[in-house]
Structure 1
Amino acid sequence: MRIDLVALVVEEYDPAIAFFTGVLGFELVEDSPSLTNDGRAKRWVVVRPPGAQTGLLLAQADGERQSAAVGQQVAGRVGFFLRVDDFDASYQRMREAGVVFVGEPRREAYGRVVVFEDIAGNRWDLLGE
């Protein structure tokens, strides 16, 4: 048993794809036409870190309720955790790409960590040594 996908509500597909692939270095696993439950066109977009099994389903907001959830997937808490092999290189690359960081890197019992925001404003921990 494993978690395959986690849905992340975004405003638009293409800027979200660009952020996750171009800025974070994820792979675009799938970008296929699909339909909503009531038959309207949408896309099935999956990204994931290289070598990872679990991916993110980038789900374009559909309606006011979903639009209100963009950037608030976990009510302002850190809800996503990205572990990297080279913390310093990843942090520097992301800073140069304009990623918004909340505070400075710090050392915790589990390694180095700094909070950043994704394209929608959701908070993530960047983790590494």
Structure 2
Amino acid sequence: MMAFLSAISILVSDYDEAIAWYSEKLGFELIVDTPMGGGKRWVVVSPSRDAQTRIILAKASGAEQTALIGRQMGGRVGFFLQTTAFDEAYSRMVEAGVVFREKPRSEPYGQVVVFEDCYGNGWDLIEPAD
């Protein structure tokens, strides 16, 4: 029986650049960084060590994958970062220099704002409504 989604992967152009962005801008933890040979690494980041879903930073190889960096979701928001302290998280991200596509807004499902990672992938920072 399936229990939960353990990881997703995001195409990146450089491991160290992506690790730095996710750790410095979002405050994520580097969980694993293991060399796999041939310049490949198994790199996993997460909002915290105990988060159920983690992100595998996958270095693109070849022209087809490279062309998809920052466009994995066709311009739509594809990643959703949930918080329990929206205003605090938003302020910290603004101070860290995160690029936002809009101003925060209230929706029936909660407070939300769209931001971009270092490659332009769309993310929602969201605090669900009660």
Report the TM range for the smaller structure's normalisation: over 0.9
Partner of 2:40: 42
Partner of 2:19: 17
Amino acid at match of 1:22: E
Partner of 2:79: 80
Give the distance between the partners of 2:83 and 2:55, measured in 1 at CA: 17
Amino acid at match of 2:79: F
Amino acid at match of 1:107: S
Q: Stretches of 4+ moved more than 4 A in 1?
A: none
Give the distance between the partners of 1:26 and 1:43, measured in 2 at CA: 18
Shift of 1:41: 3.0
Give the distance between the partners of 1:41 and 1:117, measured in 2 at CA: 27
Partner of 1:4: 6
- Count of residues in Structure 1 that have an aligned counterpart in Structure 2: 125
Give the distance between the partners of 1:127 and 1:26, measured in 2 at CA: 16
Deviations 1:12-41 (A, max 9, x none): 001110111111111111000014xxxx33
Amino acid at match of 2:26: L
Residue pairs, 1:1-129, within 5 angstroms: 1=2, 2-35=4-37, 40-50=38-48, 51-128=50-127
The percentage of aligned residue pairs carrying the same residue is 53
Give the distance between the partners of 1:41 and 1:18, measured in 2 at CA: 18
Give the distance between the partners of 1:112 and 1:54, measured in 2 at CA: 21
**Normalization by structure 1: what TM-score?**
0.93
RMSD over aligned CA atoms reads: 1.1
Amino acid at match of 1:19: W
Give the distance between the partners of 2:39 and 2:26, measured in 1 at CA: 28
**Normalization by structure 2: what TM-score?**
0.92
Q: Classify the secondary structure of the residue corresponding to 1:103.
A: coil
Give the distance between the partners of 2:115 and 2:15, measured in 1 at CA: 20
Give the distance between the partners of 1:59 and 1:15, measured in 2 at CA: 12
Gaps of 5+ in 2: none
